[in-house]
Amino acid sequence: MHFKNTDMKSMYKILVIMVILISAGCKKELNKEPIGLLTPDQINTDPKLNTVKSSVTSSYQLLSSTLNIIGQWGWDNGTVLRNDFILQDIASGDMQKKWNPDGDQAWMDEFSKFSFTAANGGFNGQWSYDYEGISRTNLSISYLTDPDIIAKIGIDESSKNRLLGEVYFLRAFYYFDLVNNFGDVPLLLKPLKSFSEAYDVAKRETKEKVWAQISSDLEQAKALLPNSKYADNAEKWRASKGAAIAMQAKVALFNQKWQEAITAITELEGLNFYSLNTNYFDSFSVAKEFADNEVIFAYDHQSAKTPAMGNGLCALAGWGFVAPTANFIKEFEPNDPRLIYTVDAPKQLVYKVFGELSDHNKGNEDAPSNKIYIRWADVLLWKAEALNEIGSSAPAIAIINQVRGRARASINAAGTYPPAGTLPDRPASSDKAQIKDWLIHERRVELGFESQRFNDLKRWKLAKSFLNTLGVNFQDRNYVYPIPQGEIDKSGGSITQNPNY
């Protein structure tokens, strides 16, 4: 792309305004075209069927834990792999960076202390992954909603609808992560073909508008995706109607629309696609992937693929990363098998990440263990929470006990069952606060290391009180993370910072 008679300083300012779409941090990245801005040689005015299908498939990639999806070993800018385990698990007090703390990647430690600044690379990494994912979904949507392109590529109506439903779901999913982490964020809904278009979107929209767009995208996804457990039986990892409905329930829950959440979950129950697995670990076992009853949406890591599709978080575990805090371990009741299935502290093994009850995948950057984003136990606990909030105590407790019952009936990692009396049922109660405490505990032990805890603490308004008891300097401002400082600096003020950062 060439620009004549243009002041280079002004041109540079215009370029970097589009940092909402840049997966950068190291200087060499600034020489690349902004993510989302299509240069003339990238604009495909005559895409083929495989091009359109590939654009949809690539939209999933930013949900993976595969190493170096963006850049190459960009530790300082937080882009080596997706940072959910840092921004959620470490920040929540469940996880610490390493089994034996050291100075390696000290920026991660700042999340356990809330001592970070807006320049911390973790924010840039999450922002970059989400906006790159959004950029890819927008390109796919532009293809699949263009009547001329649809006519040219010869795709059948059902396949077109399914693919379009998938990318509407994914765009909503990425924006859900952004709005929960950062609050008001730029809202990008189409591919950008000029600097002027990029300039127009380099500003933050209100979180209310972002939530409305998330809801709109999920409604379209639900309508377009087939009425079956798997959107595609040949590729069961793809987003499904069940995943879209589950996300609708989650959006309602996070916005305290309790009855809407219950209605969506009741609809999901009516599909009869999902149930609790008999054994707790089946949701995470590589051997049971897409053959279990519980997983609703997961990223499908695969070994020996080109380009790589393995679970890079296993590689970090091999370097001593991904360890529990003492407070997290203490949360588990005696003999709860979910503890060792999550992490075997004496052996320093994180089975839930490895997907196997061994050390085989420890250090394996190409491990096939999936990243679970939504599963049925999580959904059931959403329903219990919503029921408790509207005063339906008995059914809320019944759901909590259902989750506990599955746990105590799970064979443990040693091949034996927990002793009698393990995880007894919660008794009848009409005490809303007591039931909420039971729910808070159950979510922490059931969903440990699944990158759910920090969002839970924030939406319950418990993050400050809980983390302060751990000696963490969490402040009110931390209920949203700072916009990456590099984005603020480069935009010249068109992208503003969150308060008190």
Contact 158, 231 (CB under 8 A): no
The per-residue pLDDT for 28 is 37
Q: Please determine, for residue 46, whether its predicted confidence score (pLDDT) is greater than 50.
A: yes
* Cα angle 466, 469, 473; round to 5: 85
Q: Please determine, for residue 386, whether its predicted confidence score (pLDDT) is greater than 90.
A: yes
Q: Please determine, for residue 208, whether its predicted confidence score (pLDDT) is greater than 50.
A: yes
**CATH number of the domain to which 125 belongs:** 1.25.40.390
Structure tokens at 43: 């604009």
**Looking at per-residue confidence, does 26 or 190 come out higher?**
190
The per-residue pLDDT for 67 is 98
The per-residue pLDDT for 42 is 54
- Please state, in angstroms and rounded to a whole number, the distance separating the CA atoms of residues 107 and 75: 9
The fraction of the chain above a pLDDT of 90, given in percent, is: 85
Predicted TM-score (pTM) of the model is 0.92
Q: How many domains does the chain have?
A: 1
Classify residue 1: in a domain, yes or no: no
Q: Please determine, for residue 437, whether its predicted confidence score (pLDDT) is greater than 50.
A: yes
- Please state, in angstroms and rounded to a whole number, the distance separating the CA atoms of residues 20 and 30: 13
Q: What is the DSSP string of 383-397?
A: HHHHHHHTT-HHHHH
The per-residue pLDDT for 24 is 35
Classify residue 12: in a domain, yes or no: no
The per-residue pLDDT for 36 is 52
Classify residue 498: in a domain, yes or no: no
Element (H, E) at 211: helix 207-224
The fraction of the chain above a pLDDT of 70, given in percent, is: 90
Q: Please determine, for residue 486, whether its predicted confidence score (pLDDT) is greater than 90.
A: no
Classify residue 500: in a domain, yes or no: no
**Looking at per-residue confidence, does 16 or 203 come out higher?**
203
The per-residue pLDDT for 21 is 38
Contact 322, 379 (CB under 8 A): no
pLDDT band with cut points at 50, 70 and 90 for residue 151: very high
The per-residue pLDDT for 325 is 98
Largest CA distance in the chain: 81
* Cα angle 285, 291, 294; round to 5: 75
Residue among 124, 122, 123 nearest 97 (CA):
122
Reduced to 3 states (helix: H, G, I; strand: E, B; else coil), residue 381 is helix
Classify residue 9: in a domain, yes or no: no
Contact 124, 78 (CB under 8 A): yes
pLDDT band with cut points at 50, 70 and 90 for residue 446: very high
Amino acid sitting at position 188: L
Q: What is the pLDDT of residues 298-350, one digit of tens each?
A: 999 999 999 999 999 999 999 999 999 999 999 999 999 999 999 999 999 99
Contact 203, 239 (CB under 8 A): no
Q: Please determine, for residue 27, whether its predicted confidence score (pLDDT) is greater than 50.
A: no
Lowest pLDDT segment from 43-52, 128-137, 443-452: 43-52
The per-residue pLDDT for 413 is 81
pLDDT band with cut points at 50, 70 and 90 for residue 415: confident
Strand ranges (E), 94-205: 95-98
Residue among 327, 363, 360 nearest 345 (CA):
327
Classify residue 16: in a domain, yes or no: no
Q: What is the pLDDT of residues 77-96, one digit of tens each?
A: 999 999 999 999 999 999 99
Residue among 308, 360, 344, 354 nearest 81 (CA):
308
pLDDT band with cut points at 50, 70 and 90 for residue 37: low
- Residues ≥6 apart with Cβ < 8 Å to 167: 56, 59, 137, 140, 141, 144
Structure tokens at 335: 């003999």
The per-residue pLDDT for 22 is 37
The per-residue pLDDT for 142 is 96
Average pLDDT, integer, range 170-176: 98
The per-residue pLDDT for 357 is 96
Q: Please determine, for residue 13, whether its predicted confidence score (pLDDT) is greater than 70.
A: no
* Mean per-residue pLDDT of the chain: 91
Classify residue 17: in a domain, yes or no: no
Amino acid sitting at position 419: P
Average pLDDT, integer, range 150-177: 98
Residue 226: CB atoms within 10 Å: 15
Q: Please determine, for residue 144, whether its predicted confidence score (pLDDT) is greater than 90.
A: yes
Average pLDDT, integer, range 252-280: 98
**Which residue range(s) make up the domain with 461?**
22-491
